[in-house]
Amino acid sequence: MAYPTSSSIRKAHDEGAVPIDTSVATPKSETNSPATRSEIAHGQPELINVNDGYEPNGDRTVDEIDGQSKGWFAYFRTKNFYVALLIGQILALCITATNTFSTLLVNKGTSIPAFQTFFNYVLLNAVYTGYTIYRYGLKKWGKLLLKDGWKYFILAFLDVEGNYFVVLAYRYTTILSAQLINFWAIVLVVIISFFFLRVRYQWTQVLGILVCMGGMGVLLASDHITGSNGGNAKSPVKGDLFALLGATFYGCSNVYEEFFVSKRPLYEVVGQLGFWGMLINGTQAGIFDRDSFRTAVWDGKVGGYIVGYTLSLFIFYTLAPLLFRIASAAFFNISLLTGNFWGVVIGIKVFGYTIYYLYPIAFVMIILGLLLYFVMNTVLGDAKKPWLGENQEGGVNGVGTARRRAENPEAIV
């Protein structure tokens, strides 16, 4: 769901131990309609027409709330704007942490990128599938699996394969080349959202995305100037193709997950992602990481690094869907661009990195781009999803959604 930062994977370049990302705990009150809250002893998954009988019980509809204040900086006066910025930077720090732990593992002689990610899917499945079964009951969870399991399998497949091909890319091409190709994921998210989800971007949002990408370009230029772009490529054409394929999987999975969490409870989506991801990733790890597993170094520090890596990635997968609801897949991707800067900040202490003068400039550019993205948004920002209807009647009433703002005006998020 996210990309490795160049600063945190320099020492791991040859081994290809570059983790990635991609999603969220939800309060028990999250259901498809307020009217059903008193009816869910174990929850009641609606497998067909999940939003029948939508009736807003707030004083205003979603459309009325969204139209109450327009123009410049309207979204800046809402708490959701600051929540979105904060979550975006927490996610960037999580990605930086996973890359740092992965580099530490490589330095210890343990390069098992697919296998170490497997623990994250296991944890996601244990927590969120367990909670889903508690809410739905085992029988209804089984029906969910039979009816909608194939949809979640596609989501998990996109997520797992995005990780896999980016890892392969860093084994064959330079960090600079792979990071430049990863811009394709941002472009792809915008294209898919525009044509398939009917998202219409304002000119300031497009400008914000371009400014963020420009900031990332400054970071990559800094790496090139200082000679920290990963050295010579072993097979640049093969590596670039793997990077392009990985970025494509990432972009598709981000938009797909944003669509899912707008319609279904977060714990269901994350639980299914963990369930299917565990099976897919476990199969790949068993095939491709067997030799690396046998030759890996195993001691207390390695165990600690794996635990830190797994917990960081678990937090990432838990918070990402919330940002998809409050903002969008596009904002999610540009928020992660600050990960390179945070990687250097952490690397100063852990790996002895030094900050080149272009890094702070690039960080300011990316933050400025994030602000530009929302500068002309209405009070609901990107939380109002065009594919859910005028009053979001096609979506779930859950944490971070525009429909929740209408039906629960006092809700914090």
Q: Answer yes or no: is pLDDT of 51 > 60.
A: no
State the pLDDT at residue 157. 97
pLDDT value for 43: 43
pLDDT category at 12 given cuts 50, 70, 90 is: very low
Phi first, then psi: give them for residue 397, nearest 5 degrees.
Answer: -90, 90
CA–CA distance, 393 with 52 (Å, rounded to integer): 8
Mean pLDDT across 327-341: 88
pLDDT of residue 354: 74
- Write out pLDDT tens, residues 264-301: 999 999 999 999 999 999 999 888 888 878 888 888 99
Q: Compute the mean pLDDT over every residue in the chain, rounded to the nearest whole number.
A: 80
Least trusted range by pLDDT, from 27-31, 170-174, 317-321, 328-332: 27-31
- Residue 50 in this model has a pLDDT that exceeds 50: no
What pLDDT score does 68 carry? 61
pLDDT at 52 > cutoff 50: no
pLDDT of residue 189: 94
- Please report which confidence band the pLDDT of residue 46 belongs to, taking 50, 70 and 90 as the band edges: very low
Q: Is the predicted pLDDT of residue 1 greater than 90, yes or no?
A: no
Q: Higher-confidence residue: 31 or 123? A: 123
Using DSSP's 3-state secondary structure scheme, residue 176 falls into: helix
Alpha helices in 197-235 (DSSP H): 203-225
- The answer to whether 108 and 301 have CB atoms below 8 angstroms apart is yes
With 60 as the cut, is the pLDDT of residue 42 above it? no
Tell me the CA end-to-end span of the chain in Å, nearest whole number: 23
Higher pLDDT, 297 or 18: 297
Confidence of residue 36 (pLDDT cuts 50, 70, 90): very low
Q: Mean pLDDT over residues 77-88, rounded?
A: 90
Tokens 């300031």 correspond to: 204
**For 157-210, what is each residue's pLDDT tens digit?**
999 998 888 777 777 776 666 666 778 889 999 999 999 999 999 899 999 999
CA distances for 15 relative to 10, 168, 393, angstroms: 10, 9, 49
